[in-house]
Amino acid sequence: MGNVKDFASPVRPTWCTGCGNFGIWNAVKRAMAQLDLAPHQVMLVSGIGCDSKLPDYTHANGFLSLHGRTVPVATGIKLANHGLKVICTHGDGDAYAEGLGHMMHAARRNIGLVDIVQDNRIYGLTKGQYSPTSDQGRVSKTSPWGALEEPVHPLAAALAAGATFVARSWSGDLDHLVDVIARALQHRGYALIDVLQPCVTFNRANSYDFYRPRVYKLQDEPGYDPTDQAAAFQRALEWGERIPIGIFYQVENRPSYEERVPALQVGPLVKQPLGKLSPQQIEALRAEYV
Partner 1 sequence: MRSSYGVVIAQVEDEIAAACAVVGAAHAGVRAMAPTSGGGFCLMVEALGLAGMTETPIVIYEAQRPGPSTGLATRTEQGDLWFVLHASHGEFPRIVLAPGTVEQAFETGWRAFNLAERYQGPVIVLADHFLATSLRDVPPEALDFDRVTIDRGALLSEAELEALVENYRRYALTENGISARAIPGHPKGVYSATSDEHDEHGHIEEDATNRRLMMEKRMRKLEEARKAVNSPALYGAQKAEITFIGWGSTYGPLRTAVDRLNAQGEQANMLHFVDLWPFPAAPTAQILATAKRTIAVENNYSGQIADLIRMATGYHIAERILKYDGRPLSPEYILENVKRKE
How far, in Å, CA of 30 to CA of 181, rounded? 9
Q: Which residues pair with 216 in a beta bridge?
A: 244
How far, in Å, CA of 136 to CA of 282, rounded? 61
Binding marks (x or -) toward partner 1, 173..212, rule CB under 8 A? ----------------------------------------
Q: Which of residues 1-60 bind partner 1 (CB under 8 A)?
A: 9-11, 38-41, 43-45, 48, 53, 55-56, 58-60
Q: Which residues pair with 43 in a beta bridge?
A: 61, 86
Q: Which of residues 254-273 bind partner 1 (CB under 8 A)?
A: 261-266, 269-270, 272-273
Segment contacting partner 1 (CB under 8 A): 15-23, 71-79, 140-148, 160-168?
A: 71-79
How far, in Å, CA of 150 to CA of 116, rounded? 22
Pick from 4, 105, 128, 224 the residue near partner 1 by CB under 8 A: 105
* Whole-Å CA distances, 43 to 14, 85, 113: 22, 6, 10
Helix (H, G, I), strand (E, B) or coil at 30: helix
CB of 165: closest distance to partner 1 in angstroms?
20
How many residues make contact with partner 1 (CB under 8 A)?
A: 58
Pick from 8, 36, 80, 142 the residue near partner 1 by CB under 8 A: 80
Secondary element (H or E) of residue 246: strand 243-250
Biggest CA–CA distance in the chain, Å, is 72
Q: Does 277 bind partner 1 (CB under 8 A)?
A: yes
Helix (H, G, I), strand (E, B) or coil at 244: strand
Q: Footprint of partner 1 on this chain (CB under 8 A)?
A: 9-11, 38-41, 43-45, 48, 53, 55-56, 58-66, 69, 71-81, 83-84, 101-102, 105, 261-266, 269-270, 272-277, 281-282, 286, 290
